[in-house]
Amino acid sequence: MQQLNEDRFRHRDLNWLSFNERVLQEAADKINPLYERMKFLAIFSSNLDEYFRVRVSQLRQMKRVKKSIRKKLALRPSKITKQIIQEVKKQQNDFGDIYHNHIIPELAENGIHIRDAEHYSDTHKKFVDSFFNNKVEKHIKPIVLDLENENELFLENSVLYFLITFKNENKLAVINIPVEDCGRFVMMDDVQDEHNITYLDEIVRHEAFKIFPEDDITGIYEIKLSRDAELYIDDIYEGVLAEKIYISLKQRTEGQPTRLLYDAKMPKEVQKKIRKLLKLGKIDMMPGGQYHNFKDFFSFPDPTNNKKLHFKELPALPHKTLDKSKDYFKAIAEKDQSLHFPYMSFSYVEKFVDMAAEDKDVTEISISLYRVADESELTNSLMKALKNGKRVTVFVEAKARFDEENNISWGRKFEEKGANVIYSFPKVKVHSKIMLISRQEGDENVKYAYIGTGNFNAETSAIYCDHAIFTANKNITKELYRLFKVLEGELIIPREKNLLISPFSTRQEFTKLIYNEIENAREGKKAKITAKMNSLEDEDIIELLYKASNAGVEIRMLIRGFTCLIPGVKDLSENIYITSVVDRFLEHGRIYLFENGGDDLMFYGSADWMNRNLDRRIEVISPVLDDDIKQEFKDILDIQLNDNVKARIQDPEETNKYVQREEGEKEIRSQYSIYEYLKKKHAT
């Protein structure tokens, strides 16, 4: 996508598309069961929707910034947007091929048929007619447009519509497809051992003549509009330049359209009409297939209950210590305890909070909540703690993208019950995954900490690969206590020596650690950096990694998402090797390992190497101090580094080639191998 001679960095938005291509590869990979491949199509579609709402929206807004500022920032929004559209079209063609030529035939082989309106039997037609009359029609809201007069048309974000054309070319109509009310997929069983499923779209298409009984319909085309999300300019640009951008933008329209996805069969003259009605440019028009919103395939029914069509169940593994413990405080005081999700259950975290809520000696619970679940054992336990007279401090991130409303709602619930609730700071997000519990034990106030890489959310913990440690280590708990005092406004800086806390010390400490490896390499000592993260974007860190590579430091990275670093380039990054694992679960953990002249240092936490995580978010990166847990983390990291089933090589050409297994080499599918490793280690 991007030529190497353009600069030393990949464009993050272009490389993100390379990540989404890996998701699409999973939809095509027949190692995965059929219904799981359909879910990967849903993930791809959902990812792309958010991408247009946030990233492409930002590029569009940058086009309105003064040229002098764009030049200073090396912004090329038009060029990048064109490259994005070109790549997205290619990926959507691949998507269509996977769906039509692989998924649909394999469903049919398993007795599951997706029927469109053209192939309804007489029995189907009777069913559809009744279903529409009784369940669908009341939710249809037609909009009729007379093109000879001035019209205003508003389409909601990501809602499915049909654009309908008539024999009268001066008339158009738009009707909603009421998925929220009726579901996307409808079962139409009528033959033994055969299962017929139709899209709600097809039912509405088949019955459209009832909505316009006096008109001759000439075309029905599905459309979906993506509207932008809040503009997060500070995610990339900061300080005076950010302010100049805001001034240059002046006033921004909320929810501006960023993409109209339409049926590619729509005639050009009709495309022009809808473009004009929605005030879109040509670049905003994205041709697609007959159906949109494939994210609905998360809920595609399986009438066969065939276990072979789904991933084999992996029961949550018991933790060898916590599973038998009736007193987590005692277990944690004796030794740090680690958790690994989704291989282990999030219930251990919920149980600890519940113990704290019930424990007469616990005086205070402090926790940061980035994405709050709708309802959970953890939030119920926090409410119980308040009822039992504990002091509860909850930091609620009100700006967690797309979760703002739910987070604020929970904040108000906690406030009503007497919690000390703190909301976001201006221009700073609290992204750390931390909890601190204070307990009076005799004359001493003992503190117990939880530091993780993932959110306090039981639902996401079942699909996100994350790591966490419970600790009573006084050096860690003391510094975490000071950080909570910073969040409460009682301290200005946390004064940490062990933890790396953004925006106070993380960048400086990582810089020192990388320079230390550079110096060791120059002195002929073994020097190595191993890092696992979601994304790599910070240019200062990347330049340091280039410098380390040229000094002879071996750099091995696991990056699930996008990377702006270009690996494997002679005289730039030839000692940097990157792979990405996309598989059953979403890799989400961050682990950093430095050789340090043989006395290696390991860290884990919530921060990627992105400038927002280093400079504009409250993040916590903790050293792994327990030797047993440190070895456990190393073993897990080593398994992932040696994945030869689901790992893709991040090469300069962005080919996304799978790591090839050598002849006779053992097959390592890391997520399953980690499960077996933990199963053996925590056997009770």
Binding residues for Mg(2+), by number, are 371, 401
Backbone angle region of 537, left / alpha / beta, with phi > 0 → left and psi within -120 to 50 → alpha? alpha
**What is the rounded distance in angstroms from the CA atom of residue 634 to the CA atom of residue 674?**
11
Residue owning tokens 């003064």: 66
**What is the rounded distance in angstroms from the CA atom of residue 429 to the CA atom of residue 8?**
29
CB 477 within 8 A of CB 447: yes
CB 634 within 8 A of CB 674: no
Q: In this structure, what are the phi and psi dihedrals at residue 607, rounded to the nearest 5 degrees?
A: -105, 130
Residues ≥6 apart with Cβ < 8 Å to 313? none
**What is the rounded distance in angstroms from the CA atom of residue 21 to the CA atom of residue 87?**
10
Residue owning tokens 């890092």: 531
**What is the rounded distance in angstroms from the CA atom of residue 464 to the CA atom of residue 453?**
10
Residue 33 vs residues 27, 412, 580: alpha-carbon distances, Å: 9, 43, 21
**What is the rounded distance in angstroms from the CA atom of residue 200 to the CA atom of residue 116?**
10
Classify 14 as helix, strand or coil.
helix
For residue 39, with 0-12 CB atoms within 10 Å meaning exposed, 13-18 middle and 19 or more buried, which class applies?
Answer: buried
Question: Does the active-site annotation cover 340?
Answer: no
Task: Return binding residues.
Answer: 47, 371, 401, 464, 560, 588
User: First-to-last CA distance in the chain?
Assistant: 51
Instruction: Dig out the tokens for 503 from the structure.
Output: 């925006």
Task: Return binding residues for ATP.
Answer: 47, 464, 560, 588
Question: Residue ranges of the alpha helices (H) in 427-538?
Answer: 458-461, 474-487, 506-522
For the beta carbon of residue 622, count every other beta carbon within 10 angstroms: 26
**What is the rounded distance in angstroms from the CA atom of residue 206 to the CA atom of residue 258?**
30
CB 641 within 8 A of CB 528: no
Pairing of strands 591-594, 601-605: antiparallel
Residue owning tokens 């933008």: 249
Catalytic residue among 11, 195, 292, 431: 431
Classify 559 as helix, strand or coil.
strand
Residues with active-site annotation = 431
